Structure 1
Amino acid sequence: MANKNNKARYENRLLAVLFLTFGFVFFDRLALSFLFPFMADELQLSNSHLGLLSSVLALTWAVSGALVGAWSDRSGRRKPLLIIAVLLFSLCSALSGLVGGFLSLLLFRAIMGLAEGPILPLSQSLMVEASSPHRRGLNMGLLQGSAAGLLGAVIGPPVLIGLAEAFGWRHAFVISLLPGLLIALLIWRYVQPDRPRSEPQAATARASGGQRLALLKSRNILLCTLISCVFLTWFIILIAFTPTFLVKVRAYSPAGMGTVMSCLGAAWVLWGFGVPAISDRIGRRPTLVLFSLIAACCPLALLYAPSPWLLGVLMLLTYTGLGCFTLFMATIPAETVPREVMATALGLIMGIGELVGGFVAPTVAGFAADRFGLSIVMWMSCGGALLAAVLALFLKETAPAVLARRQPRHDPLAPATSLRGNQP
Structure 2
Amino acid sequence: MKTNTYENRLLLVLFLCFGFVFFDRLALSFLFPFIAKDLGLNNSHLGMLSSILALMWALSGMTLGHVADKKESKKFILVISVITFTLCSALSGMVTTFISLLIFRAFMGVAEGPVLPISQSLLAAASTPKRRGLNMGLVNACAPGLIGTVLAPPVLIWIATEYGWRSAFYATVIPGLLISVLIMLLVKNQHTHESMATSHQPHLGGMENIKALIKKRNILLCILISCFYISWFITLITFTPTFLMQGRGFTPEVMGEIMGSLGFAWMIWGFVIPAASDHFGRKPMMILFTLIATACPMVILYADADVMFPMVFLTYTGLGCFTLFMATIPAETVSPSQVATALGLIMGIGELFGGFVTPIVAGFLADIYGLEIAIWIASGGSLIALMLSIFLSETAPVKQRKHSNSEREGLSVSP
Shift of 1:309: 2.5
The answer for the alignment partner of 1:261 in structure 2 is 259
The answer for the alignment partner of 1:228 in structure 2 is 226
2:61 aligns with one of 65, 68, 86: 65
Shift of 1:222: 0.2
Quick one: distance in 1 between partners of 2:232 and 2:18? 20
Quick one: distance in 2 between partners of 1:71 and 1:206? 13
8 Å CA contact retained: 1:73, 1:209: no
Specify the code of the residue in structure 1 equivalent to 2:274.
P
Q: TM-score, normalised by structure 2?
A: 0.95
8 Å CA contact retained: 2:122, 2:191: no
Shift of 1:400: 0.6
Specify the code of the residue in structure 2 equivalent to 1:347.
G
The answer for the alignment partner of 1:396 in structure 2 is 393
Specify the code of the residue in structure 2 equivalent to 1:305.
A
- Please tell me whether residue 249 in structure 1 is matched to residue 247 in structure 2: yes
Shift of 1:215: 1.0
Shift of 1:386: 0.7
8 Å CA contact retained: 2:122, 2:190: no
- Range that drifts further, 72-81 or 45-54: 72-81
CA distance 1:159–1:414, change in 2 (3 Å): farther
1:360 aligns with one of 346, 357, 360: 357
Gap regions ≥5 residues in structure 2: 193-197
Shift of 1:105: 0.2
- Please tell me whether residue 314 in structure 1 is matched to residue 307 in structure 2: no
Quick one: distance in 2 between partners of 1:414 and 1:250? 63
Q: Percent identity?
A: 56
Q: Deviations over 1:32-85 (max 9, x none)?
A: 000000110110110000000000000000000000010111223310000000
The answer for the alignment partner of 1:282 in structure 2 is 280
Quick one: distance in 2 between partners of 1:195 and 1:252? 49
Quick one: distance in 2 between partners of 1:132 and 1:208? 29
Q: Deviations over 1:256-289 (max 9, x none)?
A: 1000011110000000001101111111111101
Specify the code of the residue in structure 1 equivalent to 2:231.
T
Quick one: distance in 1 between partners of 2:321 and 2:207? 27
For 1:378-389, what aligned pairs fall within 5 Å after superposition? 378-389=375-386
Q: Deviations over 1:231-261 (max 9, x none)?
A: 0000000000000000000000000100001
8 Å CA contact retained: 2:202, 2:335: no
Specify the code of the residue in structure 2 equivalent to 1:401.
V
Secondary structure of the 1:112 match is helix
Shift of 1:87: 0.1
- Please tell me whether residue 156 in structure 1 is matched to residue 152 in structure 2: yes
The answer for the alignment partner of 2:328 in structure 1 is 331
8 Å CA contact retained: 1:70, 1:209: no
Quick one: distance in 2 between partners of 1:291 and 1:106? 34
The answer for the alignment partner of 2:23 in structure 1 is 27
8 Å CA contact retained: 2:287, 2:389: yes
Quick one: distance in 2 between partners of 1:102 and 1:112? 15
8 Å CA contact retained: 1:208, 1:341: no
Specify the code of the residue in structure 1 equivalent to 2:331.
A
CA distance 1:414–1:144, change in 2 (3 Å): farther
Quick one: distance in 1 between partners of 2:218 and 2:127? 22
8 Å CA contact retained: 1:74, 1:209: no
Specify the code of the residue in structure 1 equivalent to 2:170.
V
> Aligned residues, how many?
406
CA distance 1:121–1:209, change in 2 (3 Å): farther
Specify the code of the residue in structure 2 equivalent to 1:354.
E
Specify the code of the residue in structure 2 equivalent to 1:184.
S
Q: Deviations over 1:6-50 (max 9, x none)?
A: 111110010000000000000000000000001101101100000
8 Å CA contact retained: 2:143, 2:267: yes
- Please tell me whether residue 124 in structure 1 is matched to residue 120 in structure 2: yes
8 Å CA contact retained: 1:223, 1:391: yes
Shift of 1:129: 1.0
Provide the alpha-carbon RMSD of the alignment.
Answer: 1.7
CA distance 1:147–1:212, change in 2 (3 Å): same
The answer for the alignment partner of 1:421 in structure 2 is none
Quick one: distance in 1 between partners of 2:191 and 2:391? 36
Quick one: distance in 1 between partners of 2:34 and 2:88? 19
The answer for the alignment partner of 1:419 in structure 2 is none
- Please tell me whether residue 305 in structure 1 is matched to residue 307 in structure 2: no
8 Å CA contact retained: 2:133, 2:278: yes
Specify the code of the residue in structure 2 equivalent to 1:91.
L
Quick one: distance in 2 between partners of 1:17 and 1:385? 31
Quick one: distance in 2 between partners of 1:125 and 1:15? 12
- Range that drifts further, 72-81 or 205-214: 205-214
The answer for the alignment partner of 2:195 in structure 1 is none
For 1:21-60, what aligned pairs fall within 5 Å after superposition? 21-60=17-56
Shift of 1:213: 3.0
Gap regions ≥5 residues in structure 1: 416-424
Quick one: distance in 1 between partners of 2:242 and 2:146? 21
- Please tell me whether residue 373 in structure 1 is matched to residue 367 in structure 2: no
8 Å CA contact retained: 2:203, 2:209: no
The answer for the alignment partner of 1:214 in structure 2 is 212
Quick one: distance in 2 between partners of 1:195 and 1:259? 40
Specify the code of the residue in structure 1 equivalent to 2:80.
I
Quick one: distance in 2 between partners of 1:116 and 1:368? 28
For 1:80-159, what aligned pairs fall within 5 Å after superposition? 80-159=76-155
Secondary structure of the 2:33 match is helix
